[in-house]
């Protein structure tokens, strides 16, 4: 198959992000890129998260016996509200293909849009595929492949269902789940599970998590297999922190879907005598470390306190420590708490 319009998406080219070590907020000097604290004055450093590779995503939609213009009328507004542009395919003239803006979470956005479209229009048949991209990729060829592949997947779908490509599950970890269709066939189907971020206006509400849940986050987990070495290393690092009486920052890095969250869940379950706090970056701050949120969570701050009250809470928490005044000032600075 081929697109009627040549180059599918005339957006900006994808370039690698530039990175540098963070400047210390207290003294302004630079430490090594991986340093958690300033090598000169000891201030905690807030590293800027490096975004993952951008993702191209395409959704093909068709309604049996209807034209592409009818499909556009039924679900096009939903796709367009998320920034998608549309393609036509000469070999499938009744199929509408939506191409989503390249970004790290494009597959999640496209999957949510497809799920919303199936909910709004039960007769629509949908196919979805996505791919990670770098500046060295043949981006036009990837767009063309996704157009063709999403149309092929759509042709396999029954009304009201979404047939996903192989890359969709790892690229939408936690936002969607792929299961066989209810008719007993082996054809895969994309189903809603939960949202990674706040759902767009008009989106169906994801199933709520059970109210009574183990503090470690374990709920009907499958057997833990294949990550024993990583779990042992994290356990050893925590033991070193406890034994040496110092802080440490550990980052888990890996491809989407390899089980980072599960490793942390198992670690939390093994530390029965440790106080554990779980934080999630909000959509607008996902590119930064949630340092202020961590301080507020540990100190029990709600964000509604005055600066004086917030400093008093922090002082009760750390005032008895060696260099308590210095620690208090650093925490207040990181949490953006003003005061005398």
Mean pLDDT of all residues in 282-295: 64
Q: Are residues 319 and 266 part of one domain? A: no
Whether residues 189 and 271 fall in one domain: no
Greater model confidence, 127 or 34: 127
Whether residue 247 sits in one domain with residue 321? no
- Same domain for 182 and 273? no
Give the pLDDT of residue 66: 92
28: domain CATH number is 3.30.70
- Check pLDDT > 80 for residue 17: no
* Residue 74, pLDDT above cutoff 60: yes
Together in a domain, 250 and 325: no
Helix H or strand E encompassing 140: helix 139-156
Which has the minimum average pLDDT: 85-89, 168-172, 173-177, 334-338?
173-177
Question: What is the average per-residue pLDDT within 188-197?
Answer: 47
Q: How confident is the model at residue 191 (pLDDT cuts 50, 70, 90)?
A: low
Report pLDDT for 48.
Answer: 54
Q: Give the pLDDT score at 149.
A: 92
Interatomic CA distance for residues 128 and 157, integer angstroms: 11
Task: State the pLDDT at residue 110.
Answer: 92
Does residue 37 sit in the same domain as residue 154? yes
pLDDT value at position 34?
A: 65
Lookup result for tokens 């907020």 = 25
- Examine the pLDDT at 39 and tell me if it is beyond 70: yes
**Residue 305's pLDDT is what?**
83
* 304 shares its domain with 247: no
Q: How confident is residue 257, by pLDDT bands cut at 50, 70 and 90?
A: low
**Domain of 340, in residue numbers:** 290-340
236 shares a domain with 199: no
CA–CA distance, 325 with 233 (Å, rounded to integer) = 34
Q: Are 301 and 310 in contact (CB under 8 A)?
A: yes
Comparing C-alpha atoms, which of 122, 140, 123 is closest to residue 131?
A: 140
Number of domains within the chain: 3
Q: What is the mean pLDDT of the chain?
A: 74
Backbone phi and psi for residue 211, each to the nearest 5 degrees, phi listed first: -65, -45
Within a domain: 284: no
* Report for 66-75, 203-212, 278-287: range of highest mean pLDDT: 66-75
Residue 296 has pLDDT above 90, yes or no: no
For the four alpha carbons of 161, 167, 172 and 178, in that order, the dihedral sign comes to positive
Domain boundary among 222, 253, 277: 277
Q: 17 in a domain, yes or no?
A: yes
228 plus 162 within the same structural domain: no
Task: Tell me if residue 309 falls in helix, strand or coil.
Answer: helix
Residues 148 and 182 in one domain: yes
Mean pLDDT of 90-112: 90
Mean pLDDT of 12-32: 61
Higher pLDDT among residues 321 and 77, named by residue: 77
- What is the predicted pLDDT for the residue at 9? 41
Closest CA to 35 of 238, 200, 248: 248
Averaged pLDDT, 65-76: 92
Q: Which of 186, 208, 230 is the last residue of a domain?
A: 208
């Amino acid at each position: 198959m081929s697109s009627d319009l040549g180059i599918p998406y005339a957006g900006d080219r994808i370039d690698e992000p530039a990175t540098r070590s963070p400047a210390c907020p207290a003294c302004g000097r630079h430490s090594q890129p991986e340093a958690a604290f300033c090598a000169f004055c000891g201030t905690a450093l807030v590293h800027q998260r490096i975004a993952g590779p951008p993702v191209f995503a395409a959704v093909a939609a068709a309604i049996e016996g209807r034209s592409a213009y009818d499909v556009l009328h039924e679900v096009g507004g939903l796709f367009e509200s998320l920034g998608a542009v549309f393609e036509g395919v000469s070999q499938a003239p009744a199929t509408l293909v939506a191409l989503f803006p390249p970004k790290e979470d494009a597959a999640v956005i496209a999957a949510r849009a497809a799920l919303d479209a199936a909910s709004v229009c039960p007769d629509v048949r949908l196919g979805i595929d996505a791919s990670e991209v770098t500046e060295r990729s043949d981006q036009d060829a990837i767009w063309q492949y996704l157009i063709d592949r999403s149309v092929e997947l759509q042709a396999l779908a029954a009304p009201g269902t979404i047939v996903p490509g192989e890359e969709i599950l790892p690229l939408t970890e936690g936002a969607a789940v792929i299961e066989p269709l209810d008719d007993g066939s082996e054809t895969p189907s994309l189903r809603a599970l939960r949202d990674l971020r706040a759902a767009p206006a008009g989106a169906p509400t994801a199933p709520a998590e059970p109210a009574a849940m183990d503090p470690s986050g374990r709920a009907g987990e499958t057997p833990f297999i294949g990550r024993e070495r990583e779990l042992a290393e994290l356990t050893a690092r925590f033991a070193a922190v406890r034994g040496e009486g110092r802080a440490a920052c550990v980052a888990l890095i890996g491809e989407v879907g390899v089980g980072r969250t599960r490793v942390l869940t198992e670690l939390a379950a093994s530390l029965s005598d440790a106080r554990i706090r779980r934080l999630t970056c909000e959509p607008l701050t996902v590119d930064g470390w949630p340092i202020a949120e961590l301080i507020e969570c540990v100190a029990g701050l709600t964000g509604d306190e005055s600066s004086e009250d917030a400093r008093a809470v922090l002082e009760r928490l750390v005032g008895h420590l060696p260099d308590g005044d210095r620690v208090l000032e650093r925490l207040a600075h990181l949490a953006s708490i003003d005061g005398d």
